[in-house]
A and B are shown apart, each in its own frame.
Chain A
Amino acid sequence: MSSFSVTEPSARQKYFAGTLVSLYAIITLLPLLWIIATGFKSPSDAIAYPPEVFFEPTLEGYVNLFTTQTRVTAEAAAELGEPQTWYEQIVRDNDMIIVGPSRYGERFFNSVIIGFGSTFLCIVLGTAAAYAFSRFRVPLKDDLMFFILSTRMMPPIAVAIPIFLMFRQLGLNDTHAGMILLYTAVNLSLSVWLIHGFIDEIPIEYEEAALIDGYTRFQAFYKIVLPQAATGIASTAIFCLIFAWNEYAFAVLLTSGTAQTAPPFIPTIIGVGGQDWPAVAAGATIFLVPVMVFTILLRKHLLRGITFGAVRK
């Protein structure tokens, strides 16, 4: 038995809190599990009511997600001979043949480029701006900071039409550069404010010590400030990435082909003949992976980042 502590909750309190957290976790995770499960169901299992909890898993949804297919007659199919691969077999069972890859890969790749590209820009510009606001005598500092924050005060989509027209004039419609710029612009206020808070927490004496130790201002920033702000920068990066990755409205409006991201594309998978929920679910499942991996990689920083200001002092 450990020693008595005033701050340590009792066993019953812990039990209660644990139950509450578990319950909440189940409620929030259930839709996620549902989507993941649906991705492995056959179309008929996917729409069965009551929902099937135990079912025979199939990769049909994933095959449909990544391929373009066409219906053929039994004779035509027979002429093609036996299917060569397991995924051709799955398709052939539905009297279809594969005519090529689907667009999902490209769209997913677009999401990666645009999501990480805008996150990178946001962090670079945000850190530079935040450092300047924190360390230099910037005229009208407070007003500028407020102005930066105010760009986030209305929902970004409120300016969708002017942006659409501007993009058309500038030839940025449906381009990667356009989407990266747009998401960077939307997220920049968040990143400046968050990182500003973190850099303000780092005493200026460290940099002064580095200046005296023989380093230039930029080296002091790079070797002293940056490592200490890493936590804040990591958590800011996660927030930026999550926004850019999940953004739907602008993506629908401004992209249609070359630069279309996954969110507006996934609903179009649903198909024309019959509703292919497993393919949609498979698309959504794969779409979750990068943000999850990114968050897990940075989770140590994220946890410390969320509690920033509360611990250091």
Chain B
Amino acid sequence: MAEVELRNVTRAFGEDVALDQVSMTVPDGAFVVLLGPTGAGKTTTLRMVSGLDLPDQGEVFIGGRPMVGLTPAQRNVAMVFQQYSLYPHMTVRENLAFPLKSPLLRTPPDIVNAKVMEVAETLQIAHKLDNKATALSGGEMQRVSIGRALVRNPEVFLMDEPLSSLDAKLRAELRIELKSIQADSGATLLYVTHDQIEAMTMATHVGVLDDGKLIQFGPPREIYENPVSIYAASRLGQPKINVLPADLFGHAPDRAVNIGLRPEQIRQGEGADSMVTRVEHLGDQTRLHLSFSNHDLVTVTDAHTTLKSGDIVKIRPENPFFFDASGARIH
């Protein structure tokens, strides 16, 4: 278990800058979720920490030690890949035992067996141990590859969208499983996803990446309630934050170009008229699609609302966010 620090890490692939001066300190025992769309640099960040890829500039520290010149094996990290993570020519048991048998650990066979059994039981794959890795379902495969990270006692766990290929039910189960494993073991975990539910439910810290830059880093609540930019604000929250012209509701601060409104920042029943264009009943909540002076916005209302499309609802912003021309937040 260790603190992970990236200091001004830059990495370019040809013209394409994957990471641009990224600095971040992941506290010991933190569960950090890196959020951002494809190409934002999430996976590259993991690869920098793992040593599979090296920074052009900047440094990586694990537990205070500089990682310059250390191979992935020497860094003592475990990584779960998005796919292709199981060795297809081995059984599940061999896959799980593989990291333990490495020349780095040279675990005695009886301890290997005990560890493998323990992890297999945690992940409910004990009955599949002697199957060929290719004879598993997608969910089982991913559990085995998570298991392969768990059998070791690494300084840091790195997970690259480990749940993205699973169905919704399994994803929900494993989300809870992963979180409790991390909480129990106190491991430092870097987790890449573009699923905001995973970010909100598991993270102690969220790092928002945009085009190779780390835009904001902090607890998920803080990023949700106090985003630094439109981009950061759009990463979290469902339905997504509404971004509208700043003066739409009247007075706006100087320099403000846009106003950002999350559903809870839209007070219903007061203010100006808007028209309901569509009502989506999702069961636990109901989404209202509104049209307000020719601008569309989405908010949430009472699950049992009787509103229907064509109705008029009064709305008023409440503690909204304002953003300047560059998209940065104005306080």
The chain A residues found within 8 Å of chain B, CB to CB, are 203, 205-206, 208-216, 219, 224, 227-228
A228 to B98, CA, bound (A): 16
A214 to B99, CA, bound (A): 6
Given the known interface contacts A205-B81, A219-B103, the answer about A212 and B87 at a Cβ–Cβ threshold of 8 Å is no
State whether the Cβ of B33 lies closer than 8 Å to any Cβ in chain A.
no
Question: In the complex, how many angstroms separate the beta carbon of A201 from the nearest chain B beta carbon?
Answer: 12
Q: Residues of A contacting B84 with CB < 8 Å?
A: 203, 205-206
A203 to B81, CA, bound (A): 12
A203 to B104, CA, bound (A): 24
Question: In the complex, how many angstroms separate the beta carbon of B148 from the nearest chain A beta carbon?
Answer: 7
* Contact call A214/B73, Cβ cutoff below 8 A: yes
Interface Cβ pair total, 8 Å cutoff = 57
> What are 13 pairs between A and B in contact, CB < 8 Å?
A203-B84, A205-B84, A209-B81, A209-B87, A210-B87, A210-B98, A212-B50, A214-B102, A214-B103, A214-B104, A216-B103, A219-B103, A224-B87
A242 to B81, CA, bound (A): 41
A111 to B83, CA, bound (A): 47
A203 to B87, CA, bound (A): 10
A216 to B102, CA, bound (A): 9
Q: Residues of A contacting B51 with CB < 8 Å?
A: 211
Question: Would you list which residues of chain B between 70 and 120 have a CB under 8 Å from chain A?
Answer: 71-73, 77-79, 81, 83-85, 87-89, 98-99, 102-105
Q: Residues of A contacting B88 with CB < 8 Å?
A: 206, 228
Which of A209, A224, A228 is within 8 Å of B79, CB to CB? A209
State whether the Cβ of B272 lies closer than 8 Å to any Cβ in chain A.
no
Q: Which residue of the partner chain A has the closest CB to B88?
A: A228
Q: Residues of A contacting B78 with CB < 8 Å?
A: 212-213
Question: In the complex, how many angstroms separate the beta carbon of A83 from the nearest chain B beta carbon?
Answer: 58
Q: Residues of B contacting A214 with CB < 8 Å?
A: 73, 99, 102-105, 152
The chain B residues found within 8 Å of chain A, CB to CB, are 50-52, 71-73, 77-79, 81, 83-85, 87-89, 98-99, 102-105, 148, 152
Q: Residues of B contacting A219 with CB < 8 Å?
A: 103
Q: Which residue of the partner chain B has the closest CB to A216?
A: B73
Q: Residues of A contacting B72 with CB < 8 Å?
A: 208, 211-212
* Contact call B89/A213, Cβ cutoff below 8 A: no
Q: Residues of B contacting A212 with CB < 8 Å?
A: 50, 52, 72-73, 77-79
Q: Which residue of the partner chain A has the closest CB to B148?
A: A213
A214 to B149, CA, bound (A): 11
Q: Residues of B contacting A227 with CB < 8 Å?
A: 89
* Contact call B85/A211, Cβ cutoff below 8 A: no
* Contact call B73/A205, Cβ cutoff below 8 A: no
Q: Residues of B contacting A209 with CB < 8 Å?
A: 79, 81, 85, 87, 148
A7 to B236, CA, bound (A): 48
Q: Which residue of the partner chain A has the closest CB to B77?
A: A212
A41 to B148, CA, bound (A): 65
Given the known interface contacts A208-B52, A209-B79, the answer about A215 and B85 at a Cβ–Cβ threshold of 8 Å is no
A209 to B87, CA, bound (A): 9
A227 to B87, CA, bound (A): 10
Q: Residues of A contacting B99 with CB < 8 Å?
A: 213-214
Q: Residues of A contacting B148 with CB < 8 Å?
A: 209, 213
Question: In the complex, how many angstroms separate the beta carbon of A149 from the nearest chain B beta carbon?
Answer: 27
Question: In the complex, how many angstroms separate the beta carbon of A226 from the nearest chain B beta carbon?
Answer: 10
* Contact call A213/B77, Cβ cutoff below 8 A: no
* Contact call B103/A215, Cβ cutoff below 8 A: yes
A219 to B87, CA, bound (A): 14
* Contact call B81/A208, Cβ cutoff below 8 A: yes
Which of B50, B83, B102 is within 8 Å of A205, CB to CB? B83
Q: Residues of A contacting B103 with CB < 8 Å?
A: 214-216, 219
Question: In the complex, how many angstroms separate the beta carbon of A231 from the nearest chain B beta carbon?
Answer: 10
Q: Which residue of the partner chain B has the closest CB to A226?
A: B89
Q: Residues of B contacting A208 with CB < 8 Å?
A: 52, 72, 79, 81
Q: Which residue of the partner chain A has the closest CB to B74?
A: A214
Sorted from nearest, which 8 A-B pairs have the closest CB atoms?
A214-B102, A214-B104, A213-B99, A205-B84, A211-B72, A203-B84, A214-B73, A227-B89
Q: Residues of B contacting A224 with CB < 8 Å?
A: 87
A203 to B84, CA, bound (A): 7
* Contact call B87/A206, Cβ cutoff below 8 A: yes
* Contact call A228/B71, Cβ cutoff below 8 A: no
Q: Residues of B contacting A206 with CB < 8 Å?
A: 84, 87-88
Question: In the complex, how many angstroms separate the beta carbon of B135 from the nearest chain A beta carbon?
Answer: 16
Question: In the complex, how many angstroms separate the beta carbon of A51 from the nearest chain B beta carbon?
Answer: 51
Given the known interface contacts A205-B81, A216-B103, A219-B103, the answer about A211 and B87 at a Cβ–Cβ threshold of 8 Å is no
Known A212-B52, A212-B77; further 13 A-B contacts with Cβ < 8 A: A206-B87, A206-B88, A209-B148, A211-B51, A211-B72, A211-B73, A212-B72, A212-B73, A213-B78, A214-B73, A214-B103, A215-B103, A216-B103
